Amino acid sequence: MSLGKLAERLLHLVPVLLGVSVIVFLMMALTPGDPVDIMIGDQNVTPQQEQAMREDLGLDLPVHRQFFVFLGNAVQGDFGTSFYHRRPVLDVIVERLPATIELSLVALIIALVTAIPLGVLAAIRRNSILDKMATVGSLLGVSLPGFWFGILLLMLFAVHLQLLPVSGRIGFDSEIEPITHFLLIDTLLRGRPDAFWDALKHILLPAITLGLPMTAILMRVTRTSMLEVMRQDYIVFAEAKGLKRGRILFRHALKNALIPTVSVAAIETGSLLGGNMIVETVFGWPGLGRLVVESVFLRNYPLVQAAVLFYAVTYVLLNFIADILYTTLNPRVKL
């Protein structure tokens, strides 16, 4: 893995970001609805005041001029001001980011720790009831709409059984002074196990909802690659060596079978970003995803634009990480 490769990837990012910016700009120009109209609502405002607002936000310029103004500023690291918050877009995004990252990481962990053992088990007990249930389950997992599954969980665990909170990131009584802004960590750092428990209860349902499609995909990938690996000569040779079954399964087979699983996990983490918008909205999670959805409704163009660019960068980086993982795990491949 060389710095050259990294530089090359970063260079690839330039056309991607440019293309994404154009598309987002076009989409916002073509969607009906006007940010100034939305801000004004039913207040009484004179046409002069309205015109002033437009000029203030730079919306009086033709669309292509707006784009070049945005581009000129963005190159200098200025992504504009959120219409709604009246603060720099970047500040608002950074503020919301920890909640989203924390939720995504927990979803990723849940997906990995359930998908890998299930996939291995389904493979070694091929065609058993368990394998068939896992197959059906994973089919449902990828095809159920996330919001529907989330609402189902909400109704069952939060509304009916009242075991878990309905929305938010942490209860009012458990608010703590942030350190890392990851609540599961900060609550422990502050020595508040009760608050940790509260944060955990809040994150559980959204993380499960968010992680479900990924769990389903990773389980299928693990099962398939495990079956493929178990047919290989080196597994027969390992058996001929008289090694214990556990060693054959978990050292010889799994080490090879996990190579595709881990790479797919890294790539699929990118798709968690999209899932975040839905899940955060359903569960009132104060992260970037919900912010983006709200901003779309408010026609808060600068924020949507910057957030989408951020998603694009993250996506490309995750693909890069997937490649690195693939190389590190697979001694045969040299990047």
Partner 1 sequence: MSRNENLLEVDGLRTVFDTSEGVVRAVDGVDVTVRRGECLGVVGESGSGKSVTFSSVMGLVRSPGRIESGAIRFEGQDLTRLSTREMRAIRGRDISMTMQDALTALNPALTVGEQLSEMLDAHDDDLPARGAARRRAIRDRSVEMLRLVGIPSPESRLGQYPHEFSGGMRQRIMIAIALAPGPKLLIADEPTTALDVTIQAQVLELISDIRARLGMSVVLITHDLGVVAEHCDRVMVMYAGQVVEEGSTVDVISNPQHPYTRGLLGSIPRLSLRGKPIRPIQGQVPNLVGLPPQCRFYSRCPERTDACLQSVEMRSVGPDRRARCIALTQEEVA
Q: Tell whether residue 234 is a contact of partner 1 (CB under 8 A).
A: yes
- Closest contact distance (angstroms) between CB of 262 and partner 1 is 12
Q: How far apart (Å, rounded) are the C-alpha atoms in residues 278 and 313?
A: 20
Residues between 203 and 232 that touch partner 1 (CB under 8 A): 232
Q: How far apart (Å, rounded) are the C-alpha atoms in residues 309 and 316?
A: 11
Q: Tell whether residue 116 is a contact of partner 1 (CB under 8 A).
A: no
Q: Tell whether residue 329 is a contact of partner 1 (CB under 8 A).
A: yes
Q: Tell whether residue 239 is a contact of partner 1 (CB under 8 A).
A: yes
User: CB under 8 Å to 244, separation ≥6 — which residues?
Assistant: none
Q: Tell whether residue 236 is a contact of partner 1 (CB under 8 A).
A: yes
Q: How far apart (Å, rounded) are the C-alpha atoms in residues 203 and 103?
A: 7
Under DSSP, the state recorded for 43 is S
Nearer to partner 1, 148 or 237 (CB): 237
Among 42, 173, 177, 233, binds partner 1 (CB under 8 A): 233
Cα atoms in the Cβ-side hemisphere of radius 13 Å centred on 161:
7
Q: Which two tokens stand for residue 196?
A: 């940790």
Binding mask 252-281 toward partner 1 (x if CB under 8 A, else -) reads x--xx--x----------------------
SS3 4: helix
Nearer to partner 1, 197 or 250 (CB): 250
- Closest contact distance (angstroms) between CB of 330 and partner 1 is 7
Q: What number of chain residues touch partner 1 (CB under 8 A)?
A: 22
SS3 88: strand
Among 212, 217, 238, 282, binds partner 1 (CB under 8 A): 238
Nearer to partner 1, 55 or 239 (CB): 239
Q: How far apart (Å, rounded) are the C-alpha atoms in residues 30 and 73?
A: 23
Q: How far is CA 5 from CA 16, 323, 324, 328, in A?
A: 17, 11, 11, 15
> Which part of the chain contacts partner 1 (CB under 8 A), choosing from 39-47, 128-136, 288-296, 327-335?
327-335
- Closest contact distance (angstroms) between CB of 250 and partner 1 is 12
Burial status of residue 222 (CB atoms within 10 A of its CB: 0-12, 13-18, 19 or more) = buried
Residues making contact with partner 1 (CB under 8 A) = 232-234, 236-244, 247, 251-252, 255-256, 259, 329-332
